[in-house]
Structure formats: structure tokens, C-alpha cells
Structure 1
Amino acid sequence: MTTTRLEPGTPAPDFTLLDQDGTSVSLSGLRGKKVILYFYPAAMTPGCTTQACDFRDSISSLQGAGYTVVGVSRDEPATLKKFQERDALTFELLSDPDHAVHTAYGVWGEKMNYGKVIEGVIRSTFVIDEQGFIELAQYNVKATGHVARLRKALGVDA
């Protein structure tokens, strides 16, 4: 299965998903803000925890530069709430159990996992501008060191 990847300058697909508290969050509701939208495979797994904690540890510099961080996974809101509380995550986590938003962003598809081709979440990050357009699209990112590389690309100091 081939998914279409988003390119800078294209409109970010709008969506409405439930957050960790069961509240509906829409991308269109974040217009006027710069958004870092990142997709990760599963809450509370080692790589996803590393990445989420890196975002948590960088949140003040990212927010200071005007960015709102939002994480998306297929986990149910109750699992996201546990993840948020366990790791003191200070940003919203959204639930996309049917992976419709993952598909819209081109982050659901074939990937290598321990030498086997499987279908699943392709760890990816998008920077969306205040008008709702893709500014930066990064596919197949590595969990470790990703946030530092993203901050550098955005010119955001630690």
C-alpha cells in the first residue's frame, strides 16, 4: 500500500479527534498558531516515550517560539491519559484509532520492523503554519534526537 506524502505548501488535512481527556480537538481550531503535529506508533513504548519526553523537555522553548505541540497515535484516550500522567507530558495527545488521520497525512503504510515489511505507523512530524499549510514534513524520523534536530531546523534554541 502506497500512501501519498504531504509536501510543504500544501494545506494540512483538517481533522477532529479526541484528546487524552475525551475532548474533541480540531486542527482548524488551532488556526492562528504554529503547530508541530507528530505521529508516533504507541504510547508508553520505549521509542515513543523517549520522543514524547524530548518534546516535554523542549516545550518551553517551542512554545516561546510560538509552537503548539500535538501528538497523535492510535491509542485510546484512556491510554493517552495514562501516558500523559506517567511521563508528565505537558501537551495534547490525540486518539486516531481507525488511523484515518494517519492515512490523510501519509503516515500509515508499509515500513520495516526488525527486518520484516509490516503495515503500521511511520513515525513522522509536520510543522503547520498559522494559516493551516504544511511548512515542514518529516517522514521516517528516529525517536532519539528528533526533537533536537527539529528545533535546529526551526531555529529554536534550547
Structure 2
Amino acid sequence: MTPPPVQAATAVGVLPEIGDTAPDFELVNQFGEPVRLSDLRGRNVVVIFYPFAFSGICTGELCEVRDNLSLFADSNATVLAVSVDSKFTLRAYAEKEGYGFDLLADFWPHGGAASLYGVFDPDSGMAQRGTFIIDADGIIRYVVVNPRGQARDLAGYRTALAGLAGS
């Protein structure tokens, strides 16, 4: 499978490229539990950076993921949604929306993980809408970064995950 091309280079950092080893990070989830990316080796991982909890487009995107969790489970994929919000905000957000996946707080150092992935915007203090699909060996296989105000398309995730299953 030929992976889809990277969409839109970002002016805020260097995007890791398809074929690169995914930068490792450890953040706390909405329950305050540490989640380290490298501990998930052996599974595919979908890392979804989004600007803020409770915002309209972000909620729509994450609800679409919530409503299609079987797509990710069937692809042996763990979903990690990352924003600069605090774990307390993320817990309230997850409870309100019924998210059954980890919401990770990239709160301090502010935007540290988003910076590793080239999607932190220091001028606005938030992450851009970037998604990275990482295979079971820790290699980035899909990258998309959408401009502010433009939601990501779940169909892109479906295509990328299907490609991982076929490799």
C-alpha cells in the first residue's frame, strides 16, 4: 500500500514524515494515569492532536471517533486524543461526551508533545488538527494536518488502517 501523502506542511515545527519512528512521549490521561506511546508497541496507535476540549469542531471529530471505535479496535489500534487542556478538563469532557478512549493532557510543558510532532502553534497556545497513525513497530504510516476550522475526515483513517492490516 502506498500511504497517502502528508497534507499541508506546518509553519510551527517540523512534521515527522511517513516512515519515521514516531517521537515518544508520556502524558497523563483524563484520570491522571501516565500513558507512554512506546509502551503501546505491538499495537497500531492513532494519535489525534486537537485544539481544545468542548470546542465545536473538536467535539464533532472526537464524537465521530467515539461512534466508530470498532473501526479502530478491528485494526488493533489504540486511539490517543491529545490537547493542551488539563486532565481535569479532559475528564469532564470525556464524561460529558462518553469517550471510551484516552484523552491526554499536553498541559505541561505546555504543548510539549504537539511540538515533537510539529503541530503546536505557540502564537495561539494550542495544537493544530494533526493525526498520526503509527504501526505496531512505532513507525509513522499516515500523517494529516488540517487548517484551523477544517475537520478531519474519518475516511482517511479508515483507508490508512486498512492499509496497515494488509501489510
Q: TM-score range by the shorter chain?
A: 0.7 to 0.9
Structure 1 counterpart of 2:119: 107
**How far off is 1:149 after superposition?**
3.0
* Alpha carbons 2:66, 2:99 under 8 Å: kept: yes
For 1:130, give the aligned amino acid: A
Structure 2 residues not aligned, in runs of 5+? 1-10
Query: What corresponds to 1:76 in structure 2?
Result: 86
Task: Report if the CA contact (8 A) 2:29-2:105 is conserved.
Answer: yes
- TM-score, length-scaled by structure 1: 0.87
Alpha-carbon separation, structure 2, partners of 1:125 and 1:149: 10
Deviation at 1:62, TM superposition (A): 1.5
Aligned position for 1:152: 159
* RMSD of equivalent CA atoms: 1.9
Alpha-carbon separation, structure 2, partners of 1:64 and 1:90: 15
Q: Indicate the SS of the match to 2:68.
A: helix
Counterpart-to-counterpart distance in 2, 1:109 and 1:93: 19
Q: Which runs of 5+ in 1 are unaligned?
A: 111-116
Quick one: distance in 1 between partners of 2:82 and 2:12?
Answer: 21
Secondary structure, counterpart of 1:155 in structure 2 = helix
> Which SS does the other structure have where 2:132 is aligned?
strand
Residues 1:153 and 1:99: Cα distance change in structure 2 (over 3 Å): same
Equivalent-residue separation in structure 2 for 1:26 and 1:33 (angstroms): 13
Residue in structure 1 matched with residue 104 of structure 2 by the alignment: 94
Which of 18, 22, 25 is equivalent to 2:32?
A: 22
Residue of structure 1 in register with 2:4 after alignment: none
Aligned-partner Cα distance in 2 for 1:82–1:2? 29
Structure 1: how far apart are the matches of 2:24 and 2:160? 24
Question: Closer, same or farther in 2 for the Cα pair 1:58/1:119, shift >3 Å?
Answer: same
1:4-153 matches, within 5 Å, as 4-97=14-107, 98-109=110-121, 120-140=126-146, 142-143=150-151, 146-153=153-160
Give the 3 Å change call, closer, same or farther, for CA 133–149 of structure 1 in structure 2: closer
Matches of 1:119 and 1:75, distance apart in 2? 10
Higher strand share: 1
